[in-house]
Structure 1
């Protein structure tokens, strides 16, 4: 066996072994599909995150009273690359579109009172603006999820997501 034959075999084996790891790397970058129930920590029933409330008769406003279960977050999602559906409540938008918004589980959440609990709201930011003509359409948002309680004028959010991809939700 010549030195060149040995080199060609080593090169071929190296290329084959490198190619064998590429599918695994591609799968590692695939987002985890997350639904709204997944935002509730395991072991906490959905029925236990919905709280009582009281009416503010002067301001004609329903103020929910959530217990500690409403702010319990699914810590396994912290840092996860996810893809989830929802609706947009815009916070920061321009002629180019929306770049900061709250992702909510149903149309009108947070606009109609009371808002959902914190573990059912996701604050999102995106570098690529989402067109404002698609604000009523359901969307898929893909990006890195963080568990992070934040207060906004519309409600307390339990998660933050930096979106690197958005698309219209297809039924």
Structure 2
């Protein structure tokens, strides 16, 4: 069976009108344990830490496991739960934050190790009245160690979507 030029053009225009979500990748749901490479134990604090007087924060000293990242997740499109510690916030919302595994991490307690913290930038600012509320964050995850005024992070994620975590 052969299609005419008119039928081919009609099919091309029809497929262009389909929602782009129909072709979107499905995110792999991960947990905080997945950020640690298989066989590597959770990092331990091995000293009292040191005071960062410039940023007025306490920096714990972790063992060698703190910076070990899961190689399978570098470049993965993921969805994971966590809590937001805002870094850049305006009247339009939060555009940069650290995703942490539990409420109060980095604010009321010493930060978790870098391989348990994700530096997130958003494509759309996140508006929320309650930053103690857990969220799902979806996006492309990369290995990217960096130091912020709050903590050192091991991963970076560009977020496509943020939504309230529902049990």
TM class, shorter-length: 0.7 to 0.9
1:22-49 deviations in Å (ceiling 9; x for gaps): xxxx698100111000000111022xx1
Partners of 1:93 and 1:146 in 2: CA distance: 23
Partners of 2:99 and 2:154 in 1: CA distance: 11
Offset at residue 87 of structure 1 (A): 0.2
Partners of 2:130 and 2:76 in 1: CA distance: 26
Give the helix-richer structure, 1 or 2: 1
Displaced runs of 4 or more, over 4 A = none
Alignment match, 1:139: 135
Offset at residue 64 of structure 1 (A): 1.8
RMSD value, Cα: 2.5
Unaligned runs of 5+ in 1: 1-5, 16-25
Partners of 1:87 and 1:167 in 2: CA distance: 11
Name the TM-score, length of structure 2 as normaliser. Answer: 0.80
Alignment match, 2:34: 38
1:50-61 equivalence runs, <5 A: 50-54=44-48
1:60-106 deviations in Å (ceiling 9; x for gaps): x7542201110000111111000000000001111111010000000
Partners of 1:80 and 1:55 in 2: CA distance: 33
Partners of 2:161 and 2:58 in 1: CA distance: 35
The number of residue pairs the alignment matches comes to 148
Q: Is the 8 A contact 1:62 1:113 kept in 2?
A: no
Name the TM-score, length of structure 1 as normaliser. Answer: 0.78
Offset at residue 53 of structure 1 (A): 2.8
